[in-house]
Amino acid sequence: MNKILKVIILTLIGAGCFSGGIYYGLERSEHYLESVMKEYEVISDKVDTFVDVSNPKTIRLYTTELRKILDDVTFLGKMVEEGQTSAESLSDFFGEYDKKIDDVNIRLLELSQQLNESISKHREILAELQYELDETIDITDEEKNKLQEQSDYINRLNVQLGQSIKQLEEDISKIKNSTYWLRDKKIWRDE
């Protein structure tokens, strides 16, 4: 009786430790999944900002507006300094200005190419992160299914164990109430 009770207690303790280990493993995987999702959101926000800033139409609009402002400021500055507006000074001014605009356009094209390369790299990183995230979600789903199967198995064992204990108690009660048991008790008392 004492050995059976020890076996039952050890079985229950083992099942409890096993269930606790599975629960802890799932908690750790959920925390890992949350951190991966946070990193994914940060990178996604940065890429969206990059795309908005690198829009060629926006860059052209700013360049056009800047060109107009520079024209006005430079023209007014030269008029004040020289005090005259001659055809020669205007053609020199526009020649210098065109050269500066060409330099700015070249630099803008270089920056646009660098930005497009950076966007491509970030898209690759995002694709890799998405793949890893999908794999992690698949692993988590598999672990949840395994945990559910193990939980069902433990529940079935607990039911079977409870039925076995009940049957054992009924058998012990039958034995105690039997005439053989009473006769042995009486003999033992006589000795």
| Buried residues in 123-162 as b, exposed as e (16+ CB within 10 A) | eeeeeebeeeeeeeeeeeeeeeeeeeeeeeebeeeeeeee
Domain boundaries, the chain: 2-174
Distant-in-sequence, close-in-space partners of 116: CB < 8 Å, separation ≥ 6: 54
Kindly report the pTM of this predicted structure.
Answer: 0.33
Which value, to the nearest 10 degrees, does the dihedral of the CA atoms of residues 45, 50, 52, 55 take?
-160
Distant-in-sequence, close-in-space partners of 89: CB < 8 Å, separation ≥ 6: 78, 82
* Cβ pair 125, 43 in contact under 8 A: yes
- In this predicted structure, what is the pLDDT of residue 70? 83
pLDDT tens across the length of the chain (191 residues): 788 888 888 888 888 888 888 888 788 888 888 888 888 888 888 777 777 667 777 777 778 888 888 888 887 777 666 665 556 666 777 778 788 888 888 888 888 888 888 888 888 888 888 888 888 878 787 888 888 888 888 888 888 988 988 998 888 888 777 765 555 555 444 33
- In this predicted structure, what is the pLDDT of residue 29? 80
Separation between Cα atoms, residue 142 and residue 147, nearest integer Å: 9
- In this predicted structure, what is the pLDDT of residue 89? 64
Q: 54: closest CA among 121, 101, 108, 123?
A: 108
- In this predicted structure, what is the pLDDT of residue 102? 84
